[in-house]
Amino acid sequence: MGRDGRPTPQTGPTAVVAALVASVRAALDAAGLATADIAAAGLSAPGPLDHRTGIILTTQNIAGFVDANFPIAARLAADLGGPQVFVDRDTAMAAIGEGTIGAAKGARDFVYLTVSTGVGGAIVSGGRMIRGVTNTAGELGHFPVGMDRDVRCRCGSFGNLAEAYGAAEASIVYAKAATGDARAVALIARAEAALANLAVGIVNALNPERIVVGGSVAEHEPAHVLEPMRRAIAERAFKVPAAAAKVVPSALGADVSIIGAALAARDRASGGGDWFL
């Protein structure tokens, strides 16, 4: 298997497509394959986007993608000169991966939650992914779980943990807390309370069989992520849905969205994927 990684260009969509094409070619070279050898490619991207048409509507964190309505799937397919390209939101790809071969395999009702620099998610209910009317459903990280206004964004997400502390990323805050830094300890307690509320809300509102939790913070700090979620569900969620819900770690780890993208491309290229489209 070939693998290639490179930074996202910040000079607009054309540069991003060129970097993606170069990355695909490098990965194929490493695997001793040609473009003609691949039938389909999957692209995991931040939203909001339209997974059916392969158009990225807007993406805040990449220059040139704000209100761009950029047909990235078609452009990438054309520039690759071969395979069909299927795009979906990173969290949707992760849910496809976990649902197909990972921690949610066999579950018809599950939530994938990523806890890293931000909190995001995807919802599968009754065996179908919840998309919403404009394909943006699943943004569970932005369910407001706090009512005071002492933090900039009231989502209580882990993005805010790092921001609130003034650190580049959440791992620094956890390291500070381990040395007894009172401000770090307090902010982590706050983030745990927000996650706990989110878990109770997910269980009560969606009644999932599993909540699969991925993302770098969840992976490295399960005691501060999965455990508070489990405790809150047991203590505060309604009895019937609480008894049915298991909080489990991602089975596919850091590559969950990449693996999901490959599985999504395979399924969609063969006319399948009905459950997540």
Residue 57 Cβ vs a second copy, minimum distance, rounded to whole Å: 6
Residue 148 Cβ vs a second copy, minimum distance, rounded to whole Å: 7
SS (H, E, C) the chain: CCCCCCCCCCCCHHHHHHHHHHHHHHHHHHHCCCHHHCCEEEEEECCCEECCCCEECCCCCCCCCCCCCECHHHHHHHHHCCCEEEEEEHHHHHHHHHHHHCCCCCCCCEEEEEECCCEEEEEEECCEECCCCCCCCCCHHHCCCCCCCCCCCCCCCHHHHHHHHCCCCHHHHHHHHHCCCHHHHHHHHHHHHHHHHHHHHHHHHHCCCEEEEECHHHHHCHHHHHHHHHHHHHHHCCHHHHHHCEEEECCCHHHHHHHHHHHHHHHHHCCCCCCCC
Closer to a second copy by CB, 89 or 268: give it.
89
Residue 36 Cβ vs a second copy, minimum distance, rounded to whole Å: 37
Closer to a second copy by CB, 133 or 182: give it.
133
> How far is it, in rounded angstroms, from Cα 23 to Cα 246?
38
Contact 56, 87 (CB under 8 A): yes
Measured on CA atoms in the order 252, 253, 256, 259, is the torsion positive or negative?
A: negative
Residue 167 Cβ vs a second copy, minimum distance, rounded to whole Å: 22
Closer to a second copy by CB, 32 or 239: give it.
239
Closer to a second copy by CB, 83 or 214: give it.
214
Residue 197 Cβ vs a second copy, minimum distance, rounded to whole Å: 4
Closer to a second copy by CB, 143 or 174: give it.
143
Residue 102 Cβ vs a second copy, minimum distance, rounded to whole Å: 18
Closer to a second copy by CB, 28 or 111: give it.
111
Closer to a second copy by CB, 190 or 266: give it.
190
Residue 8 Cβ vs a second copy, minimum distance, rounded to whole Å: 21
The CA-based dihedral angle spanning residues 250, 255, 258, 264, taken in that order and rounded to the nearest 10 degrees: -30
Residues that bind a second copy (CB under 8 A): 48, 57-58, 107-109, 121, 123, 125-126, 128, 130-140, 142-148, 154, 156, 190, 193-194, 197, 200-201, 204-209, 236, 238-241, 243-244
